[in-house]
Amino acid sequence: MRVLMRGGGIPPRLVRTTLPRLVLVPVVFRLAMLVQALWAAGDGGSSTLWTIAALHLVPNVAEAAWVFRASADTRPVPMADAASALVLTLGAALTGPDTAILSIVWTQLMGTVMIWTLLRGALAGALVSVGAVVLHSTVYPGSSLGLFLTLGTALVASLAIVGLVGASMRFALGFGEQQGRAAERERHRRDVHDTVLQVMESFAIPAPADELDPAASLDRVRRTARAQAMRIRISLEHEQTGPLGLHQRLRLLAAEMAAEGLRAEVVIQDDCGPDLSEEVAVALHDAAREALRNTLKHSGTRRAVVSVEEIDGGVSLTVRDHGAGFDVGDRRRGFGLENSIIARMAEIGGFARIESSPGLGTRVVLLAPSVLSLPVG
């Protein structure tokens, strides 16, 4: 753990919550080797062997259960594991030499070295290895070169695991940051398109009042520009005090479109969508606004209907106009349809469908889930 935290680039909190789970690696290894030792002993296993197996099994199961706790503090784990290894080694020494028992003891010591290395670093793992060899030589006089090499292998394997985990975490963080920056750029482009660009394009749409009453048209442009500037300033300088529901957002949207010359009638089914998450409500509002602005720019009509109803597991929002329409198959999708509507709904796990025919108007159907399966952004 300390190796990763010193390496830099990885938040300490992520290291503290992720790396302790690696204690399960030596635990699983021990349990697998225990099964192998008992299998090799077969029916000839003595009661002493089963007693040693129990002394080996219980601490490992307890460690696994401790690590899986939601707020487990792994600091006691290395000391507790070393104590259990000491008890097991001394207990096995009292039984006399036995191949299966020695195999269990070696497996326990290997796991102890791995746990100290994973949670306390390479130096701690090396010191534990030396201590294990000294202990083994004391209770089992003779050559301990084989155990020394085995524990050295466990130490190197633990460092390799830490290195692989660290590299994987750094790669995942780097990839996540890259994707986050790309998503943020895309959201910025979408916001600019849906606000500033749309308003500027609405100014360019000719209206009968431009010739009949130029002063009134100029005043309308100024009022719209001031309202949009105030809206942008508020969004930059102030945080929203509380979440707005979908109903209130759509009513504000209708008032916004009315100021720009489009009468949008909002029809909401009773008790529809009161518990929608903020992300879903914002996505539906913004996609509906883009659809209404397209109606204002391209349909040739000044009326539209926005209807909302509940469906199985979600909400359906429909924007309908009886304007000029277009051929969906022949027309290339622009930035607004592709990014401000279709991509925006896909981000929340929803779906957008555009239906239109020349002379028959356009219908945009937005389907959104009531509950997000993944966080947006």
- The tens digit of pLDDT for each residue in 17-32 reads 666 677 888 888 888 8
Domain extent, residue 303, equals 262-376
Query: Residue 155 falls within a domain, yes or no?
Result: yes
Which of 160, 177, 194 terminates a domain? The answer is 177
How confident is the prediction for the chain on average, in pLDDT? 78
Query: Residue 252 falls within a domain, yes or no?
Result: no
Query: Residue 184 falls within a domain, yes or no?
Result: no
Query: Residue 244 falls within a domain, yes or no?
Result: no
Backbone phi and psi for residue 315, each to the nearest 5 degrees, phi listed first: -130, 140
Query: Residue 241 falls within a domain, yes or no?
Result: no
Residue 242 DSSP SS3: coil
Q: Distance (Å, rounded) from C-alpha 287 to C-alpha 103?
A: 66
Count up the domains in the chain and report the number: 2
Q: What is the CATH number of the domain that holds 300?
A: 3.30.565.10
Backbone phi and psi for residue 52, each to the nearest 5 degrees, phi listed first: -65, -40
Q: Kindly state whether residues 138 and 4 are assigned to the same domain.
A: yes
pLDDT, tens digit, 9 for 90 and up, residues 55-84: 888 888 888 888 777 555 677 888 988 998
Q: Kindly state whether residues 172 and 267 are assigned to the same domain.
A: no
Q: Which helix (H) or strand (E) holds 321?
A: strand 314-321
Which of 122, 143, 177 terminates a domain? The answer is 177
Q: Which pLDDT score is estimated for 332? A: 58
pLDDT, tens digit, 9 for 90 and up, residues 111-162: 999 989 888 888 988 999 999 888 888 887 766 778 888 899 999 988 888 7
Look at 96 and 36; give whichever has higher pLDDT: 36
Q: Which pLDDT score is estimated for 168? A: 77
Q: Kindly state whether residues 173 and 301 are assigned to the same domain.
A: no
Query: Residue 236 falls within a domain, yes or no?
Result: no
Query: Residue 185 falls within a domain, yes or no?
Result: no
Q: Kindly state whether residues 16 and 111 are assigned to the same domain.
A: yes
Q: Identify the burial level of 189 via C-beta atoms within 10 angstroms of its C-beta, where 0-12 means exposed, 13-18 middle and 19 or more buried.
A: middle
Q: Kindly state whether residues 173 and 271 are assigned to the same domain.
A: no
197 DSSP β-pair partners: none
Q: Distance (Å, rounded) from C-alpha 326 to C-alpha 220?
A: 29
Q: Which pLDDT score is estimated for 344? A: 85
Q: Which pLDDT score is estimated for 11? A: 60
Q: Kindly state whether residues 41 and 146 are assigned to the same domain.
A: yes
Query: Residue 240 falls within a domain, yes or no?
Result: no
Displacement of CA 332 from its chain's centroid (Å): 34
- 297-310 burial, b at 16+ Cβ within 10 Å, e below that, comes to ebbebbebebbbee
pTM: 0.50
Percentage, residues of the chain above pLDDT 70: 74
pLDDT, tens digit, 9 for 90 and up, residues 201-249: 666 666 666 677 777 777 777 777 766 666 666 556 545 555 677 888 8
Structure tokens that stand for 160 in this block: 């390799």
pLDDT, tens digit, 9 for 90 and up, residues 273-325: 567 888 888 889 889 988 998 898 888 888 999 999 888 878 899 999 999 88
Look at 365 and 159; give whichever has higher pLDDT: 365
Which of 177, 207, 236 terminates a domain? The answer is 177
